[in-house]
Amino acid sequence: MLDIKSSDVIFDPCCGTGSFLLAGMHKMLENAKTEDERENIKKNQVYGIDSREDMFSIATTNMILRGDGKSNLIRGDFLKTSSDDLREKGFTVGLMNPPYSQRKNVATAHLSEIHFVEHLLDSLTEKGRCAVIVQLSAMIGKNKEDKKVKSNILKNHTLEGVITLNIETFYGLGVHPCIAIFTAHNPHPKEKYCKFVDFKDDGFIVSKHVGLVETERAKEKKKHLLDCWLNDAPTETKFMVKAQVEDDDEWLHSFYYFNDEEPNHEDLEKSIVDYLTFEFNMITKGKEYLFGEGGVL
C-alpha cells in the first residue's frame, strides 16, 4: 500500500522481532536491479528501534540470519529520541505497530498510541509515507490529550485514510485494530477526501485450536482492497467511504459510512411489521411507557 521502492529508507521505531523491517527489506531487494543496490539496501536502508532487550536480541538475530549485512538496530526509547536527529537519517517510509494500552493515567498520557504515531511522522522526511497498526480507539481520540495530538497531526501531516481490520487480527488478545496511512510533513488540506475502509471481512477465519486461518477468499479480498485503495476501483460505501475530515472526527469507516442503497417497498413493509410487533409485545407486558402517550398503535 506504501509502494515501497528500492531507493526507500525504512524505519520501524517499535520493531519487535523485526518483521516489518524484513518484509520491507525483501520488497526493496525484489525491486533492486544491481548487486551494489542490494548491498546498499541491506547495509544502509533498514533501521529499527526497540526498548525491550529480548525483542532487540531477537530482531538483531533475525536481521543477521536473513542476510541483512548490517543491522541498523538500536535498543532505546523511541519517544525519548529526538525526531530532528532521526529525520537526518532520511527515513522515507515508516512502519509501526506500537505498544498498546500503555496510557493508564495523566502521568502516562504521553504513552498512548497516537503519540507514537505523531512522533514517527515527525521523524520521517518530507512526504515520507507511513503505515501504522493501532487500536481503533487511537483514531477516535479517547481524551483531551489525544484529541490535541490528532489536531497537531493534521496541522503538520496528511491523513490518507484508515482501514478497519478483522477483530481477530491479533487473535486471542481482544484488540480491535486498524491500519492508518499518512504522508509526513505535508499539512492536511481541508478539501482532501480520505479513504475509510471496512476490511473486517478479510477472508481469514478463526479455527479452533489453531487460530487465524487464511481461506480461499483472502487473496480475492486483498486484491479488492488494493484495487480500491490504489486505483479507485468502484465499490459500495459499506466497503469504502471517501470523506473530508476534522481533527475531532472519529477517523474510522463507521463514522463516515452512509447507506447508499435505497430500500424497496418490501423492506419498508417488513420494518413496519417488525416494529409494530415489538411495540405490541411491550404494551402487553405493561411497558407502554417506552413509546410515549399512545404509541404508534
pLDDT for 292 equals 66
Residue 2 is assigned to a structural domain of this protein: no
Please state whether beta strands 204-207 and 194-199 pair in parallel, antiparallel, or not at all (unpaired).
unpaired
Residue 229 is assigned to a structural domain of this protein: yes
Domain check: are 101 and 163 in the same one?
yes
Residue 186 is assigned to a structural domain of this protein: yes
Domain check: are 207 and 297 in the same one?
no
Domain check: are 176 and 220 in the same one?
yes
Domain check: are 117 and 140 in the same one?
yes
Domain check: are 230 and 268 in the same one?
no
**CB contact set of 72 (below 8 Å; sequence gap of 6+):** 43, 44, 46, 47, 48
Question: At which residue does the C-alpha cell 540470519 appear?
Answer: 65
How far is the C-alpha of 167 from the C-alpha of 178, rounded, in Å? Answer: 9
User: Domain range holding 294?
Assistant: 262-297
The CATH number linked to 152 is: 3.40.50.150
- Give which of 144, 99, 91 is closest to 122, Cα–Cα: 91
- Helices (DSSP H) in 7-166: which residue ranges? 19-31, 35-44, 53-65, 83-87, 113-123, 136-140, 144-156
Residue 1 is assigned to a structural domain of this protein: no
Domain check: are 132 and 241 in the same one?
yes
Profile the chain (297 residues) by mean pLDDT over runs of 10 residues.
95 91 93 93 91 83 74 87 95 95 73 94 98 95 90 98 95 90 97 97 90 93 96 94 95 89 79 86 79 58
Residue 3 is assigned to a structural domain of this protein: no
**CB contact set of 186 (below 8 Å; sequence gap of 6+):** 126, 127, 157, 158
Domain check: are 167 and 292 in the same one?
no
